[in-house]
Amino acid sequence: MHGEYLVTFCCKLETAYAWHKLLAKNVCVTVTTLRCDLSQFSASLKSYENTQNTSDTNLNKRTKSIYTPLELQFLEMKKQNKDAVLCVECGYKYRFFGEDAEIAAKELNIYCHQDHNFMTASIPSHRLFVHVRRLVAKGYKVGVIKQMETAALKAAGENKSSLFSRKLTALYTKSTLIGEDILFQINLLDDSLDVEDVTTDVPDNYLLCICENGENLKDKKKGDIVIGITAIQPTTGEVIFDSFRDCASRSELESRVLRLQPVEMICPSSLSDRSEKLINSITSMRLRDDRIRIERMENLHFEYSRAFQLITDFYTKEDTVGFLGPQKLSVILSLDKPVICSLAAVITYLKEFNLERMLYNPSNFKQLSSETEYMTINGTTMKNLEIIQNQTDMKTKGSLLWVLDHTKTSFGRRRLKKWVTQPLMKCSEISARLDAVSEILLSESSVFGQIRNLLCKLPDVERGLCSVFHKKCSTQEFFLIVSTLSRLDLEIQALVPVIHSYVKTPLLQNALLEIPELLSPVKYYLKILDEEAAKTGDKTQLFKDLTDFPVIRKKKEEILGVLSKIQLHLLDIRKQIKNPSAEYVTVSGQEFMVEVKNSHKSSVPSDWVMVSSTKAVSRFHSPFIIENYRHLNQLREQLVLDCSAEWLRFLDRFSEHYHTVSKAVGHLATVDCLFSLAQVAKQGDYCRPTVQDNQQEIIIKNGRHPVIDALLGEQDQYVPNSTNLSGDGERVMIITGPNMGGKSSYIKQVALITVMAQIGSYVPAEEATVGIVDGIFTRMGAADNIYRGRSTFMEELTDTAEIIRKATSRSLVILDELGRGTSTHDGIAIAYATLEHFIRDVESLTLFVTHYPSVCELEKVYPDKVGNYHMAFLVNEGERFDDEESPEFITFLYQITKGVSARSYGLNVAKLADIPEEILKKAAHKSKELEGILNMKRSERLRGRASSNILLPFKEETKTKLAKILRK
């Protein structure tokens, strides 16, 4: 290090003139105002690259100054990692250089200043993980460069006067935030850390890769494409893949992105325009810290031939034999081509971070969409029903997940989120969950309370296990994980007899009884560790029994030998200084010093070296001590390196049980979810739904909207409503009524109760019977999409066309005010024709909200299949002043009632919104006038035309448009 400081001092003299002009401009050097030219670092890097063909590699051609050895070392590493912000270890701190320093100063609010050729900033080494997390949250890729030599070992080497060797040891992005440098350590680290800096409730961090394949499409339409995706959570090891055909709207891709909510996406350097627009649209809706990070890779990484070879090589390497057999390689290669291409890109990307091991085992791979296993809930429906986040501030509160989430663990919360976004399709699986929830709810045994207590205050062992598997965990985290699992093993084992006696449902009993067997290997690894050393991170004292660690044992024996020599040398020292009671002293980290009173310094041999002194005493090292103390420090530092290497091998041994232990954690997550649903069921007026296979019906008695009901709490009572939809009878409800009367809440209520039933949850109703629904499709709300170049009406029709293509007779279709984005005639025509299509052709269960009275006439055309309903209300007539009418005042009853509402009473909403009274009076007068004209025209039309010719008054152009929509 002294060599670095000397070179630094000399270079300051040589570069003083280079910055004379900068200082002459009275630049204020502060944290917020000091910003050098952003092109400086790029220019420096370019000038450095240009010198690689010359002999003078340490010359900065732009400033004519000399690069320091440290700067040259940094430039070489930056050349290889141009897209990363690099933190360089320099003694007790980490430094940033050039543009990286400016980024760090801006994002971390730290000081940035000029030093030689670059701007520089620094952070304390013990705060590294805090600042790495903050930079990663802003969307940066962050690299950590560490010193690979210790002072003692370097002094003993041949290049003791050269620069410390350094190496890039870790890279981090939003999805790859794994490692002992940056992971949280619960109750085992510095208590001064801020709560927001260290948290156990880390959200899902999916890395999603997209690959497009527009070839070999049968019946290909403009914009249609086949898309393959691979998504991985590096922190939990979950791998998800899917392949699907998508239309021009990219609704299928949007659905998967919204369901997975990735924090990072890998995309080819060139995607189709429609896919690019979708990605831009999704990312633009988020705040910066919550925005998806986009990583671009060259198109060649997505070529099938290259991907096929890469995957074959990857899964046939020697170090994957323990995870993958030849028969399983065929499973990987049997995936669809776009999936193979996306998987290859993920492997390539994760190799940068040394995280590719999680992809070795195909048992971790799960297909995202399965029409036979899970209900279809596309992205639009997920947003409209607010299943995992509300549409106001995009937070969890106010969503269905918020209502159902009473989990105690982080891994249980992640499992519940999957349940909510993937309702089941198999009646037997739904019944198994409902049986377990019912048993927890109704049982009087204390065993369920004991099991629930076991889940409280558990660390995130699922993420911890994955960190162990990647060999990126600290001793503190490992000890926390294995001690927690060992405790769970013992406590559940103690409950096994009670579980056999009182837990009867197979889902719950099997999960609980399998856990002890699956966790049995954990105890062995816990016994090996010294608790105190594990908690303090001292790897040299970590292992109690060194029988399995001969390298460490040998090194410790060598250290003991040197210590013994030094101790024996004390006898010679006592003779030389004629002090039989002399002992070694340690001051400020300096060991084996001989302390002599200044009055007796004459007795000290001349070849002894004075280390320190005070007014009273002086401290010395003898030549023997100097030599052996240096050797001792070398052995100690080599011991640290050997212990670190043995620690990684120890983690490798534990990783052999990774999949077994992970299965146990999966059982714990399932148990946590079941207890969460039981907690939901304990709320007032919830019932167990009856779920039936091969039945097309949704029958709900006095149901309530689960989210609104929870938000109201005890302050106000939600008005319950019933629903009776059946494939054998009335399967379509046309709902009218005044604005703000509760129509949208009612139709969402029906959909959410259906979702809850197929999750396996109790529902907010007195009674509920649900036939298995294969999908819920919604068209609600009105807003344009600037990023995707769509008007409000285009958004309406695109969503509707999507539903027309995908809905089946077993689907629940919800259309809210279709056709309102265009003229009245065209809107009525589209609404009427679309609804008739679902009644006559699709035969799905349908809720149709409209303000068009003409659409309600379909009840006469299909009297056995369609029913007209409205949200009940009371009308208080407005007052009259000087022949001017004021709007009526409406009292909402929020009760679904048979029949058609004659009017929508929009002026009542205008009054509630405080529109000026003069405007309201004019509007009321105009409304009466227009209503009279329309009633007259309607009477004339109905007298001369049959209901089947209802579309004849509309323009031929409109019917042509409708035909095109329905053909899609």
* Averaged pLDDT for residues 492-499: 94
How big is the CA angle at 912 (ends 911 and 918), to the nearest 5 degrees? Answer: 20
- Is residue 777 a contact partner of residue 818, using CB atoms and an 8 Å limit? no
The CA distances from residue 231 to 123, 207, 513, in Å, are 34, 5, 32
| The two structure tokens encoding residue 274 | 């429609």
Q: Is the pLDDT of residue 542 over 80?
A: yes
Bridge partners, 881 (sequence order):
884
Of all residues in the chain, the percent with pLDDT exceeding 70 is 79
Separation of alpha carbons 670 and 366, rounded Å? 17
Model confidence at 948, in pLDDT bands (50, 70, 90)? very low
Q: Report residue 378 as tokens.
A: 């596309």
Last residue of a domain, one of 320, 347, 369: 369
- Confidence check: pLDDT of 292 > 80: yes
Q: Mark which of 152, 172, 192 sits at the end of a domain.
A: 172
Among positive and negative, which fits the CA dihedral 259, 284, 397, 386? negative
| Confidence at 236, pLDDT banded by 50, 70, 90 | confident
Same domain for 520 and 643, yes or no, is no
3-state secondary structure of 481: helix
Query: Among 596, 575, 597, 576, which residue's Cα sits nearest to residue 584?
Result: 596
Same-domain status, 587 and 526: no
CA distances from 933 to 826, 866, 887, 895, 926 (A): 19, 28, 19, 31, 11
Helix, strand, or coil here: 496?
helix
Identify whether 586 is part of a domain: yes
Burial of residue 463 (number of CB atoms within 10 Å: 0-12, 13-18, 19+):
buried
Residue 940 counted as domain residue? yes
Confidence of residue 53 (pLDDT cuts 50, 70, 90): very low
Judge if 762 and 861 occupy the same domain.
Answer: yes
Is 395 part of a structural domain of the chain? no
Q: In whole angstroms, what is the distance from residue 418 CA to residue 230 CA?
A: 17
Q: Report the 10 Å Cβ neighbour count for 196.
A: 9
Helix (H), strand (E) at residue 882: none
Is 348 found in the same domain as 418?
A: no
- Give the C-alpha separation, 328 to 361, whole Å: 9
Q: Above pLDDT 90, what percent of the chain?
A: 52
One domain for residues 715 and 823:
yes
pLDDT: which is higher, 667 or 901: 667
Q: Following DSSP, what letter does each residue of 723-772 receive, concatenated?
A: EEEETTS--EEEEE--TTSSHHHHHHHHHHHHHHHHHT--BSSSEEEEEP
pLDDT at residue 251, rounded to an integer: 83
pLDDT of res. 664: 96
Q: For the range 4-8, what are the long-range contacts, defined as Cβ-Cβ under 8 Å and sequence gap of 24 or more?
A: 4/68, 4/69, 4/70, 4/90, 4/163, 4/164, 7/68, 7/69, 7/70, 8/68, 8/70, 8/115, 8/116
Of residues 316 and 645, the one with the higher pLDDT is 645
**Given a cut of 70, is residue 2 above it in pLDDT?**
no
Q: What is the CATH number of the domain that holds 82?
A: 3.40.1170.10
- Are 160 and 287 in a shared domain? no
Total number of domains constituting the chain:
5
- Residues 833 and 843: their CA atoms lie apart, in Å, by 14
pLDDT over threshold 70, residue 7: no
**pLDDT at res. 201:** 47
Rounded to an integer, the average pLDDT of 650-666 is 94
Nearest to 207 by CA among 319, 95, 358, 385: 358
Report the alpha-carbon distance of residue 596 to residue 580 in Å, rounded: 12
Three-state secondary structure readout of 502-555: HCCCHHHHHHHHHHHHHHCCHHHHHHHECHHHHHHCCHHHCECCCCCCHHHHHH
Average pLDDT, stretch 317-341? 73
CA distances from 24 to 12, 17, 18, 694 (A): 17, 11, 11, 84
Q: What is the pLDDT of residue 234?
A: 87
Report the pLDDT value the prediction gives residue 902, as an integer from 0 to 100: 67
Residue 170 has pLDDT above 50, yes or no: yes
Residue 457 pLDDT:
84
Per-residue pLDDT averaged across 676-688, rounded?
Answer: 93
The answer on pLDDT for 181 being more than 60 is no
32-46, 583-597, 702-716, 835-849: which range is least confident on average? 32-46
* Structural element, H or E, at residue 135: helix 128-137
Predicted TM-score of the model (pTM)? 0.81
Residue 605: name the closest of 589, 590, 621, 592 by CA. 621
At 42 the pLDDT is 53
> For residue 529, what are the β-bridge partners?
543
With contact defined as beta carbons under 8 Å apart, do 655 and 469 qualify? yes
Quick one: pLDDT at residue 903? 64
**Which domain CATH number covers 479?**
1.10.1420.10
- Any domain includes 394: no
For 160, the token pair is 């003791």
Q: Are residues 46 and 151 in the same domain?
A: yes
Q: What is the pLDDT of residue 50?
A: 52
Residue 182 phi, psi dihedral angles, 5° rounding: -125, -10
Burial of 161 (0-12, 13-18, 19+ CB in 10 A): exposed
pLDDT tens digits, residue range 358-404?
A: 888 777 888 887 767 899 998 889 999 999 999 888 889 999 999 99
Q: Is residue 128 part of a domain?
A: yes
**Quick check: 36 pLDDT over 50?**
no
pLDDT tens, position by position, 808-841: 999 999 999 887 767 778 888 888 999 999 999 9
Contact residues for 675 (Cβ-Cβ < 8 A; gap 6+): 406, 407, 408, 440, 448, 451, 452, 455
> Do residues 796 and 919 both lie within one domain?
yes
* Contact residues for 942 (Cβ-Cβ < 8 A; gap 6+): none
Rounded to whole angstroms, the Cα distance separating 378 from 382 reads 6
Residue 380 lies in a domain: no
Q: Tokens representing 238?
A: 């979950």
Examine residue 30 and state whether it is found in any structural domain, yes or no. Answer: yes
Decide if 202 is inside a domain: no
Res. 893 pLDDT band, cuts 50 70 90: confident
Tokens representing residue 167 in the block: 């190496």
pLDDT tops 70 at residue 55: no
Instruction: Confirm if 343 and 208 have CB atoms less than 8 A apart.
Output: no
Instruction: Answer for the pair 727, 696: CB distance below 8 angstroms, yes or no.
Output: yes
CA end-to-end distance (rounded Å), the chain = 71
pLDDT at 291: 84
pLDDT tens digits for range 784-800 = 555 455 677 787 888 88
Boundaries of domain holding 451: 401-535+671-681
DSSP one-letter code for 51: G
Dist CA 876 CA 890 (whole Å): 6
Same-domain check for residues 726 and 871 = yes
Residues 627 and 723 in one domain: no
- Look at the alpha carbons of 180, 182, 184, 190 in this order and tell me if their dihedral is positive or negative: positive
CB 218 within 8 A of CB 225: no
Based on the fold, state whether residues 643 and 512 are members of the same structural domain. Answer: no
Return the HEC string of 633-687. Answer: HHHHHHHHHHHHHHHHHHHHHHHCCHHHHHHHHHHHHHHHHHHHHHHHHCCCCCE
Least reliable range by pLDDT among 253-262, 327-336, 954-963:
954-963
**187 class by beta-carbon count within 10 Å (0-12 exposed, 13-18 middle, 19+ buried):** exposed
Q: In the structure encoding, which two tokens stand for residue 263, read together?
A: 């924090």
C-alpha dihedral sign at 931, 933, 935, 937: negative
| 587 three-state secondary structure | strand
Q: What is the CATH number of the domain that holds 703?
A: 3.40.50.300
Q: Quick one: pLDDT at residue 780? A: 86
Q: Can you give the three-state secondary structure of 315-348, one letter per residue? A: CCCHHHCCCCCHHHHHHHHCCCHHHHHHHHHHHH
Sign of CA dihedral 103, 105, 106, 107: positive
Supply the pLDDT for residue 798. 82
Q: Which two tokens stand for residue 614?
A: 């005070």
pLDDT at 699: 97
What pLDDT, on a 0 to 100 scale, did the predictor assign at position 852? 85
As a whole number of angstroms, the distance between CA 542 and CA 524 comes to 14
559 and 516 in one domain? no
Residues 827, 830: Cα–Cα separation, whole Å: 5
Which residue, 314, 346, 369, sits at the end of a domain? 369
Residue among 795, 822, 826, 800 nearest 958 (CA): 826
User: pLDDT value at position 487?
Assistant: 95
The pLDDT value given to residue 953? 43
Q: What is the pLDDT of residues 739-749, one digit of tens each?
A: 788 899 999 99
Strands 365-367 and 238-246: parallel
Residues near 574 by beta carbon (within 8 Å), at least 6 away in sequence: 580, 581, 582
Side chain identity, residue 198: V
Mean pLDDT of the chain: 83
